Structure formats: structure tokens, C-alpha cells
């Protein structure tokens, strides 16, 4: 009996010393920030339930990336305030904004992002026989927009037109390229607020948008960046 009690006590001690982990299964939504609670002093793991991580963006001063592979991100907060982390899914191509809130918990978090089936199915559909020609044309169009060069078959307008986007931003279209089934646009976005602005490509997507490229993802007050948008036109 004495030996049994010692064994149980040792086992309990070992379990108490072993690192604790908690899993958060979160539904990924690219239309709104995803709130995540993370420990201030422990490393947390971020991964997708299906597919791999294509890329990420954050402020290095706020969040330390301990390891980054296609399968996971290992992160450790450097500040006590909420931290913005953008993470790109290789399976769907979508960008998700995570808002990490550091806390006093000593439990390391295992954060699993679950993408909606519609996003994964849509991404799978573009891998068919017609995907490559469309992707090639979209790429050529974006390159033409970036250097403001003409492209075969495109009607081009350089009339400046302002659009309402966000209250703290000025959004002006500088160029419009119109093809039979595609439309490319060059916008200039100005941060008119007194605060730093952080943005991601996902914020410019709509039902007809198939590609977005943002020049600068972090804008100080009064700074500007170019945003390139490609839309699918109804034929």
C-alpha cells in the first residue's frame, strides 16, 4: 500500500509539472476579426484544420514568431495589448485577421482555424481545366495595372474617381482597365486618421472580386498606398 501511494503521488507530481495545453477550435471568417485569447508568457500554436499556412503578417514589435512552417505558427506576445495577426490559407487563398488578446493564463493555446466548406469548395473548383488560362490573364492584368501599361483588348480610363470606403480613409480610383470578362482597377488609399491603419487584402474582396494586391499593409497617418483590384465581369 505504501509503495502504491508513493507511485500515485509521483504520478500526480509529474502531471502537475507537465506543460498544459488547451485547444480552441474557431470558425474562420474573413469578413470580421477573429478574437483569440492567448497566454502572455506561453507559446501558442496556430494552424488550420484543413490545409496549410501560406503566409502571415504582423508587427514584429508586438508578436514574436518562434517558428513558422507550412503547418503551423508558434507565437509569443511581446506586449500586453491586443495584437493583430493576418494569416493566409493555402487551401482557400483567403486572408484571415486574428485579434490576439494576451492574458495571465499559464496554459499554452492550440488554436485551430476551421474554414467554411464553401471557401474550400470554391478554391477546389478553380483547379479545373479552365483555371490556368484565367489565372494567367489575371496575372498579366495585375502586372499591367502595376506599371500602368496597356494590355491587348482593354479599354483604359485614367479618370480619377473617389469612392466611399472607410470613414478614416480616402479611396480614389486612378485607372480602370476593362476587358471582355475582367475589370482591373488601380486605387490610391490614404489614411486620413490620426492613428496607424492596418489592412489586409481580404477587406477589399466582394462577390465579383477575384484578385487583390495591396502595396502597403500598414499605413501611418497621412500615408498612402496603391490597391490593385481585379473583378469578374458578367458577359
Q: Which residues of the chain are under the pLDDT cut of 70? A: 1-21, 119-133, 235
Residues 59 and 222: their CA atoms lie apart, in Å, by 19
Contact 33, 98 (CB under 8 A): yes
What are the helix (H) ranges across the chain? 2-17, 117-125, 131-147
Query: Distance between CA 4 and CA 16 in Å, rounded?
Result: 18
Q: What pLDDT is attached to residue 150?
A: 84
* Pair type for strands 108-114 and 44-48: parallel
Q: Where is 87: in which H helix or E strand? A: strand 83-89
**Widest CA span of the chain, in angstroms?**
89
Cell of 44: 501558442
Instruction: Say what the pLDDT of residue 184 is.
Output: 94
What integer pLDDT is reported at residue 131 of this predicted model? 44
Lookup result for grid cell 503551423: 72
Select from 205, 235, 230, 207 the least CA-distant residue to 88. 205
Cα–Cα distance between 70 and 145 in angstroms, integer? Answer: 30
On whether the pTM is more than 0.75, the answer is no
Report the pLDDT value the prediction gives residue 136, as an integer from 0 to 100. Answer: 80
Per-residue pLDDT, 82: 92
DSSP state of 178: E
In DSSP terms, which residues pair with 144 in a beta bridge? none
Tens digit of pLDDT for each residue in 51-79?
A: 788 888 888 899 999 988 888 999 999 99
pLDDT at 20: 53
**Would you state the pLDDT for residue 175?**
94
CB atoms inside a 10 Å sphere around CB 204 = 19
The SS3 of residue 71 is: coil
Which pLDDT belongs to residue 62?
A: 92
Percent of the chain that is helix, strand, coil (3-state, to 5)? 20, 45, 35
The grid coordinates of residue 90 equal 493555402
Q: Which residue segments constitute the domains of the chain, with CATH numbers given? A: 18-120 (2.60.40.2020), 128-232 (2.60.40)
The predicted pLDDT at position 124 comes to 53
Amino acid at each position: 500500500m505504501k509503495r502504491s501511494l508513493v507511485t500515485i503521488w509521483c504520478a500526480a507530481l509529474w502531471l502537475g509539472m507537465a506543460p498544459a495545453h488547451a485547444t480552441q477550435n474557431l470558425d474562420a471568417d474573413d469578413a470580421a476579426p477573429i478574437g483569440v485569447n492567448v497566454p502572455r508568457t506561453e507559446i501558442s500554436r496556430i494552424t488550420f484544420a484543413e490545409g496549410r499556412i501560406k503566409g502571415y503578417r504582423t508587427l514584429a514589435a508586438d508578436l514574436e514568431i518562434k517558428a513558422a512552417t507550412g503547418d503551423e505558427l508558434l507565437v509569443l506576445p511581446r506586449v500586453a495589448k491586443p495584437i493583430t495577426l493576418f494569416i493566409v490559407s493555402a487551401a482557400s487563398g483567403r486572408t484571415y485577421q486574428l485579434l490576439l488578446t494576451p492574458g495571465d493564463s499559464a496554459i499554452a493555446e492550440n488554436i485551430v482555424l476551421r474554414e467554411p466548406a464553401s471557401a474550400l469548395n470554391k478554391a477546389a473548383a478553380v483547379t479545373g481545366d479552365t483555371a490556368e488560362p484565367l489565372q494567367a490573364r489575371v496575372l498579366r492584368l495585375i502586372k499591367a495595372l502595376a506599371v500602368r501599361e496597356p494590355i491587348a483588348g482593354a479599354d483604359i480610363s485614367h479618370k480619377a474617381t473617389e469612392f466611399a470606403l472607410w470613414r478614416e480613409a480616402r479611396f480614389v480610383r486612378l485607372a480602370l482597365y476593362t476587358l471582355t470578362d475582367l475589370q482591373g482597377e488601380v486605387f490610391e488609399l490614404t489614411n486620413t486618421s490620426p492613428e496607424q491603419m492596418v489592412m489586409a487584402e481580404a477587406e477589399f474582396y466582394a462577390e465579383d472580386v477575384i484578385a487583390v494586391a495591396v502595396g502597403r499593409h500598414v499605413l501611418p497617418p497621412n500615408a498612402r498606398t496603391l490597391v490593385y483590384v481585379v473583378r469578374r465581369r458578367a458577359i
